[in-house]
Structure 1
């Protein structure tokens, strides 16, 4: 397993594939974003409680959460190039059901199909990003994740400009997005399959230039546990902002749905920007340093957010969104370098856990809001980033050197 051989093997990034899988990630996550975007519409038109809305989000995210590591584990043993378009087909059917669902239970079944599509896409999409990365793993993962975060950032705009004026049936417009995703993923799958065939010919060289020192199994286990805690804190907070912060803005600042959703768009859009910069920053400054920076900077801002006037809310959302999501792609790469033989599993575990924590967070926050009110819930949630300070205990990494 020659290091020079390995570094030569990974020195050429494939930028067209990096950007293509990022666009597909945008398609996939914009479909997922239709769900929280519908919450104000469903709450008004159907009269759903916050708990019922939380359960819709729970069904979507728990399916994605539970199945992502499973898909990643299976694809580590037997890669599945054509699973990508098949996953998008599942999302297509889920979106069709969501747009025309006459009853609450049909909405729940529809989001299961969307969750299944997401569960297949994320670990396989992350694998494609990894295969195309060459020596630019941080950059490649950032390009891939910024597509997804941009799709999530569209949720408030989808709500304000499509679902509020058109209602539930407006979701049918996103069948076009799903169809475009199926087409593009079919093309990517051909490249993916060709890469696998070439790896077979070259005896499947899988060496990695890790930025981490040699760690024992116990140290790896502890580091993964700390990453899970960080993902828990971040996902709970972002779920609150995406799904429920709109109700705080409407109730305490008397904003309309459209005005409130535009503020949430600012938060998510800056999160997408932070996601993009996080990977290249981690390549230069170290993964652990960027993860710690991402969790430490937002703490005081999150704590004061529930109390400030509306003009300050805008400024705080910009800074919180940027820094909180700075570590999103970095946590995936860090986990993959902790267990380099399980690329798909680690991607499925980290991103899947983010979905799972979001699922549980949606239910917990919905129940809290029904029982103690919107404002008190926002104050409780504002303390979550404090938990992310466990990043201090992560093993330090060093800059990776590669031959160019």
Structure 2
């Protein structure tokens, strides 16, 4: 039997020499993509955290608030797998900064939108930026992992979760006291992310110019299609349930706290920050644990 036989789990039982060929974990790339994820998700959560501002400025109902979330999620979530499927076949390293331009222009439009229709358009643009960003950035995190996939994904994901948690704080400290126009200040964060992602894209492009064998972190054996299909269905259901309650809580927690406990909006935003910070902490510890299980 070959030394690199496939064991009962379907994973390659390669000898020690195979592991010596694994590339080192590129922490500088993981750090850059995590910071970009922080900036991207901070902008997105900022939009959710200022819903009370939009509700007051445009006299919106809770149903209309929900439609803003729907406009964002339709582009961010529904289009995202289509973009991922396309870039699987045709990788586009510089789609990362291009996607962030959608977020940049969406944020600027949010800051000046004079009516509800443009609010929906701006939310959809921010969602489109997220849809373009996440598939390729996840791929970069895996490419830079050096085989430590759980650690790499936790570094990548914790950046986004910390950014999501930071959004409500920034909304409480900066946006609520200064009004809708102050959202434009955060376009600087989008521009910073564009610059970072440009350099990440250059590294990504270089990896694709290497010989195929040099690009592979681990030569994983193909699993049976049935196992892959069942695993994907389970993962999709888990992710759907997770984001169903996360998005619902993030969208309406502030309003609930203000109505139920009669606290000011800034204090309610701090409670939202605490909730989202707990999500970030769980992500940070979950990745390394996954590598050990």
Hey, what's the Cα distance between the residues in 2 that align with 1:216 and 1:197?
Answer: 30
- Report the 3-state secondary structure (helix = DSSP H, G, I; strand = E; otherwise coil) of the residue aligned with 2:79: helix
Hey, what's the Cα distance between the residues in 2 that align with 1:215 and 1:132?
Answer: 23
Structure 1 residue 159: Cα displacement = 2.3
- Report the 3-state secondary structure (helix = DSSP H, G, I; strand = E; otherwise coil) of the residue aligned with 2:50: helix
Structure 1 residue 278: Cα displacement = 0.5
Structure 1 residue 6: Cα displacement = 5.1
Hey, what's the Cα distance between the residues in 2 that align with 1:143 and 1:205?
Answer: 20
Hey, what's the Cα distance between the residues in 2 that align with 1:166 and 1:9?
Answer: 55
Match of 2:228 among 220, 223, 235: 220
Hey, what's the Cα distance between the residues in 2 that align with 1:181 and 1:77?
Answer: 25
TM-score, structure 2 normalization? 0.90
- Give the corresponding residue for 2:270: 262
Alignment pair present for 1:242 and 2:250: yes
Match of 2:89 among 77, 84, 88: 77
Residues 311-347 of structure 1: CA distance to partner in whole angstroms, max 9, x if unpaired?
xxxxxxxxxxxxxxxxxxxxxxxxxxxxxxxxxxxxx
- Report the 3-state secondary structure (helix = DSSP H, G, I; strand = E; otherwise coil) of the residue aligned with 1:154: helix
> Where does structure 1 differ by over 6 angstroms across 4 or more consecutive aligned residues?
none
- Report the 3-state secondary structure (helix = DSSP H, G, I; strand = E; otherwise coil) of the residue aligned with 1:108: helix
- Report the 3-state secondary structure (helix = DSSP H, G, I; strand = E; otherwise coil) of the residue aligned with 1:245: helix
Hey, what's the Cα distance between the residues in 2 that align with 1:203 and 1:251?
Answer: 58
Hey, what's the Cα distance between the residues in 2 that align with 1:149 and 1:208?
Answer: 30
- Structure 1: runs of 5 or more not aligned: 287-404
Hey, what's the Cα distance between the residues in 1 that align with 2:106 and 2:18?
Answer: 42
- Give the corresponding residue for 2:27: 15
Hey, what's the Cα distance between the residues in 2 that align with 1:223 and 1:194?
Answer: 32
8 Å Cα contact 2:110/2:123 also seen in 1: yes
Residues 184-230 of structure 1: CA distance to partner in whole angstroms, max 9, x if unpaired?
11111111111111134x475464458xxx85433332222222222
Hey, what's the Cα distance between the residues in 2 that align with 1:105 and 1:166?
Answer: 23
- Report the 3-state secondary structure (helix = DSSP H, G, I; strand = E; otherwise coil) of the residue aligned with 1:80: coil
- Give the corresponding residue for 1:121: 133
- Give the corresponding residue for 2:170: 158
Structure 1 residue 11: Cα displacement = 4.3
Structure 1 residue 19: Cα displacement = 0.6
Hey, what's the Cα distance between the residues in 2 that align with 1:75 and 1:6?
Answer: 28
Residues 212-250 of structure 1: CA distance to partner in whole angstroms, max 9, x if unpaired?
xx8543333222222222222211111122110111111
Hey, what's the Cα distance between the residues in 2 that align with 1:209 and 1:7?
Answer: 12
- Structure 2: runs of 5 or more not aligned: 5-13
8 Å Cα contact 1:25/1:147 also seen in 2: yes
Hey, what's the Cα distance between the residues in 2 that align with 1:120 and 1:8?
Answer: 34
Structure 1 residue 252: Cα displacement = 1.3
RMSD over equivalenced CA pairs, Å: 1.9
